[in-house]
Structure 1
Amino acid sequence: MRRSLALISASAALALGLTACVGPPEPDWRALEPEANAFVESGTRSPDSLGGGSFRALRDNAGPDDLSDEDDARLMLGYASDVRIDAVTMACFGGGEARLGLSTRSGSTWTGQGTGLTVVCDGTQHGVPIEAPVQGVNAIQLSGVIADGPGGIVAGVVRGSTE
């Protein structure tokens, strides 16, 4: 009897420990994609659009002040000839909070733009702070990581002109 009780107690402790390790459930990606797609489609219709897109971002295991490049989900847009970036608008869909950022490439050198932005993932559009206009750009990378919440879809639109 003692053996059975010990085995049951050990099994219960293991099950409790495993459930504590399970994070929040992933968002309903199919429900979020139409919202993100509508944001991108609307923004890329503008005559000064240099493109846009979206990507899935999951909750990161690091704290919000410990986000490395490896933790970020990304969207990269490349250009055949140099462009000028005037503005970047991003939104996050899905709940929780996301930390957004961007980098531009001129020649072969990547440069981070601004300090990043922490936003609520409620679909609200946010202008990402950049030193506008950024000239001589041949690629731009939009990044994001979920700082709080289960995850979301991050969408971005880049505006500017060809040089």
Structure 2
Amino acid sequence: MSKKIVCKNKKAFHDYHIDQIFEAGMVLKGPEVKSLRAGKANLRDGYALIKNGELFLYNVHISPYSFATHVSPDPLRVRKLLLHKGELKKLIGKLHEKGIALIPLRIYFIENGKAKIELGLARGKKLYDKRAALKEKQSHRDIDRDLRRQD
């Protein structure tokens, strides 16, 4: 299954421990889909919440489509996400735990042209965890660099 990735939330893996990943559909308007196809989205400050048994996405910026013939929707509007009832019930239980957040990791299009969003069940990292992760990443880079030089 090929995916055309629109945008990624790179800071999410730096700032959070991702425990579980969910895939959800998005309820979008026409110009928003066109904007996503052009890669005009930002997930940096986004998060998802459950209200009245439904999942909603907040603070995800999808830029207005410049060639739209009618009024474009608000770039930061609240968007409804589509999940199966079983997954939604799991999420409701997990989100009541302290320190757990649901954050968007990436937006992509699947083969049939539908926009999907990957949500991560996240737990915040402490500063020393971030430092350790950076140190480990740097050591892996050094090892890979040394191995390439030996070839």
TM-score (norm 1): 0.25
Query: Which one has a larger percent strand, Structure 1 or Structure 2?
Result: 1
TM-score (norm 2): 0.26
Query: Which one has a larger percent helix, Structure 1 or Structure 2?
Result: 2
- Who wins on radius of gyration, i.e. which is larger? 1
